[in-house]
Chains A and B, each alone.
Chain A
Amino acid sequence: MNDSSEKLDLAAVRAKLQGAHGREYWRSLEDLAATPEFQELMEREFPRQSIGWSEDEDPVKGRRNFLKLMSASLALAGLSACTRQPTEFITPYIRQPEDLIPGRPLFYATSTTLNGVATGVLAESHEGRPTKIEGNPEHAASLGACSAFSQASVLGLYDPDRMTTVNYAGETRSWGMFFGALREALTAQKSKNGAGIRILTETITSPTMADQFKRIRQMYPGLKWHQWEPAGPHGARAGAQMAFGQPVNTYYDFSAANVIVSLDSDFLASGPASLRYARQFAAKRRVRGDKTEMNRLYVVEPMPTPTGSKADHRLALRAADIEVFAGALSTAIGVGKGPRSGDNNDVYKWLDPIGKDLASNKGASLIIAGECQPPSVHAFAHAMNAALGNVGKTVFYTDPIEAEPVDQLASLLDLVKDLDAGQVDLLLILGGNPAYNAPVELGLRDRFAKARVAAHLSLYDNETSRACQWRLPEAHFLEAWGDARGFDGSVALQQPLIQPLYGGKAASEVLQMLTDHPEMASRDIVRAYWAGQHSGADFETWWRRSLHDGFIANSALPVKTPALHGESIVAPARAPKLNGLEVIFRPDPAVYDGRFANNGWLQEFPRPITKITWDNAAILSPATAHQLGLDSANRPSGVNIVGKMLELTYQGRTLRAPAWIQPGHADGAITLHLGYGRTRAGRSGTGIGFNAFGLRTGQAMWHDTGLQAKALSDSYEFATPSIDHTLDPRRHIFRAADIEDYRKDPNFAHEGTEDPPPGLTIYPEWKYPGYAWGMAIDLTACMGCGACVVACQAENNIAVVGKDQVRRGRSMQWLRVDSYYSGDPANPGIVNQPVPCMQCENAPCELVCPVQATNHSSEGLNDMVYNRCVGTRYCSNNCPYKVRRFNFYLFSDYETPSLKLLNNPDVTVRSRGVMEKCTYCVQRINAAKIDSEKEGRKVRDGEIQTACQATCPTEAIIFGNVNDPESRVSKMKAEKLNYGMLAELNTRPRTTYLAELRNPNSGIED
C-alpha cells in the first residue's frame, strides 16, 4: 500500500457525488473516489496475472521467455491429440434395480436441516450417486427453491476430509468396540438411574428422536439432555416466553403483507422458511403490465444483508439501537410506552411515516424481528403485530416445533456445572462442535476431559472430537434415514441416497444404542415410530406416499392464538451509552457457524454484498474506519484489496482481524462473522479467517458495547473476485426507478440509451427457425443471496480454485452476482445483479477465436467446445460482460476418489488451459429436447429449468424459448422494463434484465 498517497476521504467522495446527476451507481468506495490505483487495476481484463512485458520487469517470465515457451508448447500441442484411447471397462449389475435406467437420473425426495429445522429437497441420483440437490416444489418451506447450503451439501457428502473410522484416543476401533464400551458404561449407570449420563445435541425437532429420548429417559430417569445451537434463535425463544409466557413458534405469510418492517431480520436469505418468504415477498412485488402494486419494505439493520438490499427504506442502526427503535415504533402505533426521542436522532426520524403506513395497512402489515435480536425486540414485534391485527393474517403461531424447547445457554451452563462437579460419567455429543462454538468463557474444550467417557458423533474429526476419547463418524443426511419438523411444524422425511461411505451412523442410531433394541438401523427406527403414529390399516401405502412426497401430509402444527402478556413487555431502555464500539456477531453467510468451513463451494462463494471469499473480517462503516484512523474505503494495493489489521479487545479477550470497510454498515459498530479460525476443519477450512467465537460470551451472544479497536500497522490481503469481474455501472449497467416514476414513464429503462435495430451488422443474418433460447432476470426480485452461484457450480462441475487463485482473479464461477451502490456512502442504496453469459446473438467472443472453439448454435447459444480450445483467451478479452473463465491450472480434481463421484456425468470436467463459461445448462436443454423429440412434440414452456433458475427463491431468473410468444420468458421480455445490458454495443444479448422498481414512502426523505 502506498502510504504516501492521499487518504481516501469521505468528504471528497461526497463532494464527487454532489456533482453527479440522476441515479448513479458505484461499485465500491474506491471506485467512487476514482483513485489512480483503482483505475490502473481496471485497465486490464485479467489484471492479476498479467506478466511483465520486458526482461527488466521479470527475468523469468519476461516476454522472450514467454514467446519461447509458447512456441514450444504450440509445437508440442499438436502431438497431444495423438493419444490412443485407453482401455475402459463396463461393470453391469448382477440384478438390475427395477426403476433404474443407466444414463437417466432418478430424483428422491428427502430433507435437509439447519438448526434442526427441515427444508424439503429433491436429490438427483446418477446410478446410485447423489450429484445435485434441487428444491422440492411440494414442500412448504422450499416451493422448489433451494439454499446455497443445501446446494453445497453434496460436496459435503463426498468431502475427503470426513471422519472415516471409529477412533478411540487416536487409535482406530470398530463400532462394535464402541458399543461394548457404551454397554459397560450403561450397566454401571443402571444402579444410579442414569444420573451420570449426559447427552449433548444440536437443536432437535425430529419426532422420532424425541420419542427415543422419551424412552431412554424412562430407562434412565437421571439422564440429562442438553442442546446447544450456537446460531439458533435464542432471542426468539425467550421473546415468545416474554410475550406469551410460553414457548411459541412464529411464522409469517408475506403474500398478505403490504407493509413489512424488518427489525434486523434477514428473512429473505436466512432462517428456516426464508425460501418460502422470499418467494411470497417477490410475488407481492412483481410489476407486470397493468399490475403496478408493490409491497413496501422497511429494514433497520446494522450490517447490510440481502433483505436490506431489497428495502425501500433502509436504516443502518447499531444492533443495540434496534431495541430502542422497536420500542419507539411500538409507541408510534400506540401499543408501547417507549420514548419517542433520544440521543440518537437516526432512530426516531422515520417513526411517524412508518407508523402511519402500518396503521393504514392493518391486517396486511408485518413486523418481523431478527433471530439475532434480544427477546424484548421479539416481544415488541409480537405486541405490534397483535395491535395491528396481523395475527392470523400475516403472522401465525403454533406450539414450538422443537422436541424440547429449552434455554440452550442455561442448558449448557448446567452441563458445565455437572462436569465441574465430576458428575458426568458418560457424555455423548451427537453432532455439533461445542468445543469450538460454545461461549468462550465456558472453556468447554478442556471441560469435556472431565467426563469419564466422552464420545462425539460427527461428520468431521473436529475440535470437539479432539476433546473426546471416542470419535464416531456420523452419517451424512444423504446417507441416513430420519425426520424433522419444518418451519410450520410439518414433518419432513429424510431418506438416504447412498450407503454410508465411511460406515457412519445417524444420531438416531447412536441414541438407539441406549435402548433395549440397540442395533436397529435408522430406517427401522423411523419407520417403527411412524407405524406407531399412523392409525389405519394402510400404513404401507401411506408410508410410501409420504416418502415419495418427502413429507407427511397434514402434519403441520395447528395454528393457535396465544394470549399476549402485555405488561411483561418492558419499556425499552434508552439508547445504551456508546462505551467504545459495539461488537456484533453474526453467522457467516457461507460457512454459517463454522459447520461448512471445509466446503470449498461455500468458501469460494462470494458473500452477498461484500463479495469476500475464504475469509471473514471486521466489517465496519466508512465513518467508523475514519475514526479509527483508517482510510475511509477499502483499497486495492497492487493487485488486491488490502485491509488494515485491527486489534479488537472485548472483555479482556483480544482478536486480530482485518478491517473491511462496508458502505451501509452502521456507524460505531463492528460486525464479526462466526465460523472462521477453525483449527481442525479439514484441508479447506483449517487455519483461515479469524475466530470470532474467541470473543463471544454467553452474556452477549449477538451484540454488546465495550469493544476496543486499535489499528495495527500490518495489513491483510483479501480474496475478492468482484473487482476485476464487474462492470462499470456508469454505463447504465443497472437500471432502476421508483414505482411512481414508472407509472408516469414506463419506458424509463430505455431513455438516454441506444438500442440498435436488428440487422445492423456486416455479418450475414443468422436465422433461428426452431427454438431460440433466452433468459430474463427480474432485478426487482433478485436479492443477491447467491444460491444460484452455488447451484451453477454443482450442476456444471465448476472447480474450486482456492484462496490464492481467487486473489489472482481466477475464480471459476460461471455466474456472478454483482452488487452496486447508489447515493451517500453512509447509507447507500444497494442493488444486486446476477450476470451469467449473455449468449449474444452478435457475440464478440465468437469472432476472435482463432480455432473456432466458440461457435454460434442454431438456437442462439454461444457454444464452447473445450476440446478445441487452445487457450488464447482472445474471447475473454473481447467479452464486454466479463463472463468467461479460464483454467489457468488443472483446477478440476482428477485424483481424489470420492470427488469423482460428485461430478455431473452430463457435463465435461474441464482440464487445464481451456476457456469455459455459462452454457445456459445446455445439458438440460438437450435432455429435454431429446425427450420431446421422442414423444414427437415441442419442448414445453418451463420444461427446461437452468440450475440457477431452478434454485432461485424469488423466481428472478426465467429461461425459455423466445420464439414462442406465449412462453414466460417472452412475456417478461415484452415488458417495458426489459433492457439488454450494454445493448448499445449491438451484441444483442439473449439474457436481458427487467429494471428494478422500488416503492418508497413519499413521506420519507432519504
Chain B
Amino acid sequence: MSQLFHHSANAIARFSIFGGICLVAGVAWLGWQADTSSWETRANEHRSQPVPFSHMHHVGGMGLDCRYCHTTVETSSFANIPPTRTCMNCHSQLFLSSPTLEPVRASYRTGQSLQWTRVYDLPDFVYFNHSIHINKGVGCETCHGRVDKMPLTYQYPSLEMSWCIDCHRDPAQHVRPREFITTMGYQPAGDQEEIGRRLVKEYGIQDARTLTSCNTCHR
C-alpha cells in the first residue's frame, strides 16, 4: 500500500500547527490591541458639544484659573460643570451677538440646562474623588493634559485601570506642590523623584498598599 500522504504533506502539517498557534496568538493580540485602542477607550476623541467651548481660549488665552468654573473640585468628588450663570458672568457683556453662544443665552433665558457631553466618563463601578487628588498634589494637568492647548476638549489618558494604578503604586512620580495644582505646563524645579518623595511625605499620601486596596476606588 502506497503512502497515503505525499512527503510534502509534512510541510502542510508543520505549517498548520505553527500557523494555528500563530493564528490564535494573532487573534488574541488583535483583540488586545482593539481593547486598549483609543477607539475602545475613547481617548483623544473629540465629543460634540452644544457649544464648541474652547479651553485653549479660556485657559491658554485669557488665563482663567480652572477653579473659576470648576468650583467644587477642591471640596467634592465631582468637579462641577459650571452653571449657565457662570458663563453669563462674562457673556452678558462679551460676544453678545455671537450665534455660537446662542445656546448659552437661551439656557439662561429659558431656564433649560445646557446638555454637555461627558468627556471623562469612568465606569459606574469606579468612585473617583477629585478633591482628595487636588489636596494631595495631583495637578489638573496630570490627568486632563494640556487643556490650555485644547480648542475642543478630549480625553487625554486612556483611563484604563492600569493607568490609574501606575500612579497609585508610585505617586512620587506625579505629585507637585499644591501651589502649582492648576498650572499648565508645570516643570518641576529640580528632580521630580526627589520633590515627589518629599511631597508624598509632606502631604501624608498613603502607602501604595492602601492606595491599591480595591475599596479605594471600588465599592
Contacts and interface: CB of A to CB of B under 8 A. Distances in A.
Interface stretch (B4-12, B69-77, B138-146): B69-77
B121 interface: yes
B83 A93 contact: yes
B135 to A, nearest CB: 5
B83 A92 contact: yes
Interface in B45-79: 47, 72, 75-78
A926 B216 contact: yes
Nearest to B129: A930
A308 to B, nearest CB: 38
A769 B206 CA distance: 11
B92 interface: no
B82 interface: yes
Contact of A102 (B31, B78, B124, B132): B78
A103 B78 contact: yes
A932 B176 CA distance: 21
Interface stretch (A4-12, A676-684, A858-866, A873-881): A858-866
B108 A857 contact: no
B35 interface: yes
Contacts of A104: 72, 75-77
Nearest to B213: A857
Nearest to A127: B78
Interface in B70-99: 72, 75-78, 80-85
A908 interface: yes
A922 interface: yes
Given A82-B35, A89-B116, A94-B108, 11 more contacts: A82-B31, A84-B42, A93-B83, A101-B72, A101-B80, A103-B77, A104-B76, A859-B213, A906-B219, A922-B219, A933-B136
A237 to B, nearest CB: 49
A85 interface: yes
Overall SS of chain B's interface: loop
A999 interface: no
Contacts of A499: none
Contacts of B179: none
Interface of B: 31, 34-35, 39-40, 42, 47, 72, 75-78, 80-85, 107-108, 111-118, 121, 123-125, 127, 129, 131-132, 135-136, 204, 206-207, 209-210, 213-216, 218-219
Contacts of A865: 214, 218
B163 to A, nearest CB: 15
A91 interface: yes
Contacts of A936: 204
A102 B210 contact: no
A934 interface: yes
A855 B218 CA distance: 12
A907 B129 contact: no
B131 A102 contact: no
B107 A94 contact: yes
Contacts of B40: 82, 84
15 contacts: A82-B31, A87-B47, A90-B81, A91-B114, A94-B83, A94-B112, A95-B85, A858-B209, A863-B218, A865-B214, A865-B218, A867-B125, A908-B219, A919-B219, A934-B131
Nearest to B39: A84
Contacts of B210: 770, 857-859
Interface of A: 81-82, 84-85, 87-96, 101-104, 769-770, 855, 857-859, 861, 863, 865-867, 906-909, 919, 922-923, 925-926, 930, 933-934, 936
Contacts of A934: 131-132, 135
Contact of B83 (A87, A95, A923): A95
Given A85-B121, A867-B125, A770 B85 contact: no
A858 B135 contact: no
Contacts of A859: 210, 213
Given A94-B108, A867-B125, A858 B207 contact: yes
A859 B114 CA distance: 42
Contacts of A103: 72, 76-78, 80
A909 B77 CA distance: 18
Given A94-B85, A102-B76, A863 B132 contact: no
A861 B124 CA distance: 21
A840 to B, nearest CB: 16
Given A94-B84, A855-B213, A858-B210, A82 B123 contact: no
A97 to B, nearest CB: 9
A919 to B, nearest CB: 7
A919 B76 CA distance: 23
Contacts of B39: 84
Contacts of B76: 101-104
Nearest to B116: A90
A328 to B, nearest CB: 57
B219 A926 contact: yes
Nearest to B81: A92
A524 B161 CA distance: 53
Contacts of B131: 930, 934
B59 to A, nearest CB: 18
A936 B201 CA distance: 12
A936 B136 CA distance: 10
B125 A922 contact: no
Contacts of A769: 207
Contact of B80 (A87, A92, A858, A933): A92
A965 B18 CA distance: 64
A82 B37 CA distance: 11
Given A92-B83, A857-B215, A858-B207, A866 B115 contact: no
B84 A92 contact: yes
Which residue, A101, A861, A866, A923, has most C-beta atoms of chain B within 10 A? A101
Contact of A919 (B35, B78, B83, B215): B215
Nearest to A93: B83
A861 B42 contact: no
B213 A88 contact: no
B206 A770 contact: yes
Nearest to B82: A92
B218 A866 contact: yes
B218 A90 contact: no
Given A92-B113, A94-B107, A922 B215 contact: yes
Given A95-B83, A855-B213, A907-B219, A866 B75 contact: no
Contacts of B107: 94
B202 to A, nearest CB: 10
Contacts of A906: 127, 219
B117 A87 contact: yes
Top 7 nearest A-B pairs (CB, nearest first) are A103-B78, A103-B76, A857-B213, A863-B214, A93-B83, A91-B113, A858-B210
A784 to B, nearest CB: 28
A922 B210 CA distance: 13
Nearest to A860: B213
A965 to B, nearest CB: 21
A13 to B, nearest CB: 46
A993 B61 CA distance: 63
Contact of B214 (A93, A95, A855, A930): A855
Nearest to A796: B219
Contacts of B132: 930, 933-934
B125 to A, nearest CB: 5
A478 B125 CA distance: 29
A830 to B, nearest CB: 36
A766 to B, nearest CB: 10
Contacts of A857: 210, 213-215
A93 B113 contact: yes
Contacts of B77: 103-104
A554 to B, nearest CB: 36
A866 B125 contact: yes
B177 to A, nearest CB: 16
A571 to B, nearest CB: 63
A936 B137 CA distance: 13
A868 to B, nearest CB: 8
Which residue, B108, B123, B124, has most C-beta atoms of chain A within 10 A? B124
A919 B111 CA distance: 41
A85 B35 CA distance: 12
